[in-house]
């Protein structure tokens, strides 16, 4: 395949940054998007130029490190698929492909396509955990969980924390991420002791980080590589209002 790439290049956080055009010949349609960028980087290194910086780790769709807004869509054109699992056969021969970093005030660019996503970690630290004794794991069946709750919690727990929801949201909100965490933990018996503190602390951290508020555009769930459903946000709202206006948070 022949491709024209327009890639965001930015030397460091204080650089203004710009789109730079690159031409590639002979890309295999079976290459993944990141492998295609690897080929580009080898050519850049051979030509003594600075390779394009981008985040990645597992390359099998589970770690949440890869990002990239491809032709205006986080994780590219294929639904429910991370950038690392996206293949070049999804593009046309000769296509011009724009590649940009996640854009959010809370996610400043570190270099090229790499952004600082630590506000997501800050939210986890402020409440996305349960208290559990260390040592031997308890017998899994000793605490019964209703099957529908277990299924919904599992669905929400699929969130890999990539931040595509923020990148897609016209309001720059991380409500889908937050809803996924609050739902996954709040549906489990083990998540009950911190339930009301969790939702308030996590939302406070979210708002302080400069994310926007959710207006239910639904862009997040379409961009989410794990298809986290929009209704987790309703649960987030419900738990927050019960914790605060409902006086559940002690």
Partner 1 sequence: MQAVAIAIPAIYRSTVGKKAVMAVTGGILVLFLVAHMVGNLKIFLGAGDFNHYAEWLRTAGEPAVPHRTVLTLTEVVLTLAVLLHIWSATSLALRARAARPVKYESRKKSHARGYATHTMRYGGVIIALFIIWHLLDLTFYAVNPLGSSATPYDRVIADFAPDRWYITVWYVVAVLLVGLHLWHGAWSAFNSLGWRTKRNDGFLRGLAAVLAVVIAGGFVAVPIAVTFGWVG
Nearer to ligand SF4, 101 or 225 (CB): 225
Q: Residues 162-175, buried b or exposed e (16+ Cβ, 10 A)?
A: bbbbbbbbebbbbb
Short-list 74, 66, 96, CA closest to 1? 96
C-alpha to C-alpha distance for 59 and 240, rounded to whole angstroms: 35
Q: 96-100 and 3-9: which strand pairing?
A: parallel
Asked whether position 182 contacts ligand SF4 by CB under 6 A, the answer is no
Judged by CB under 8 A, the chain residues 216 through 235 that form the site for partner 1 are: 216-219, 221-223, 229-231, 233-235
Asked whether position 241 contacts ligand HEM by CB under 6 A, the answer is no
Q: How far is the CB of 219 from ligand HEM (least distance, A)?
A: 12
Asked whether position 215 contacts ligand HEM by CB under 6 A, the answer is yes
Judged by CB under 8 A, the chain residues 74 through 133 that form the site for partner 1 are: 98, 100, 103-106
| CA atoms lying within 13 Å on the CB side of residue 210 | 9
Asked whether position 80 contacts ligand FES by CB under 6 A, the answer is no
Handedness of CA 168, 174, 178, 181 (dihedral sign): positive
What, of ligand HEM, ligand FES, ligand SF4, none, does residue 215 touch, CB below 5 to 8 Å by kind?
Answer: ligand HEM
Alpha-carbon separation of residue 163 from 56, 99, 103, 184 (angstroms) = 13, 16, 10, 17
Q: How far is the CB of 133 from partner 1 (least distance, A)?
A: 32
Read off φ and ψ for residue 109, nearest 5 degrees. Answer: -70, 130
Asked whether position 84 contacts ligand FES by CB under 6 A, the answer is yes
Asked whether position 235 contacts ligand SF4 by CB under 6 A, the answer is no
What residues make contact with ligand SF4 under the rule CB under 6 A? Answer: 159-165, 176-177, 180, 224-226, 228
């Amino acid at each position: 395949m022949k491709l024209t790439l327009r890639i965001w290049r930015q030397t460091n956080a204080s650089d203004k940054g710009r789109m730079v055009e690159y031409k590639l010949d002979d890309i295999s349609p079976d290459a993944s998007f990141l492998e295609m960028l690897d080929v580009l980087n080898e050519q850049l290194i051979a030509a003594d130029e600075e390779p394009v910086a981008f985040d990645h780790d597992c390359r099998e769709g589970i770690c949440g490190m890869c990002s990239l807004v491809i032709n205006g869509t986080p994780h590219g054109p294929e639904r429910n698929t991370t950038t690392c699992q996206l293949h070049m056969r999804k593009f046309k021969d000769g296509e011009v492909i724009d590649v940009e970093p996640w854009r959010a005030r809370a996610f400043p660019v570190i270099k090229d396509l790499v952004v600082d996503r630590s506000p997501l970690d800050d939210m986890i630290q402020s409440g996305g955990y349960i208290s559990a004794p260390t040592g031997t794991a308890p017998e899994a069946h000793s605490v019964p969980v209703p099957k529908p709750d277990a299924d919904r919690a599992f669905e929400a727990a699929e969130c890999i924390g990539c931040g595509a929801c923020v990148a897609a949201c016209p309001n720059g909100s991380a409500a889908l991420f937050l809803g996924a965490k609050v739902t996954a933990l709040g549906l489990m018996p083990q998540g009950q002791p911190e339930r009301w503190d969790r939702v308030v602390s996590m939302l406070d951290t979210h708002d302080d980080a400069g994310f926007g508020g959710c207006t239910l555009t639904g862009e997040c769930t379409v961009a989410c590589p794990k298809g986290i459903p929009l209704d987790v946000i309703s649960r987030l709202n419900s738990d927050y209002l019960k914790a605060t206006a409902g006086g559940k948070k002690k």
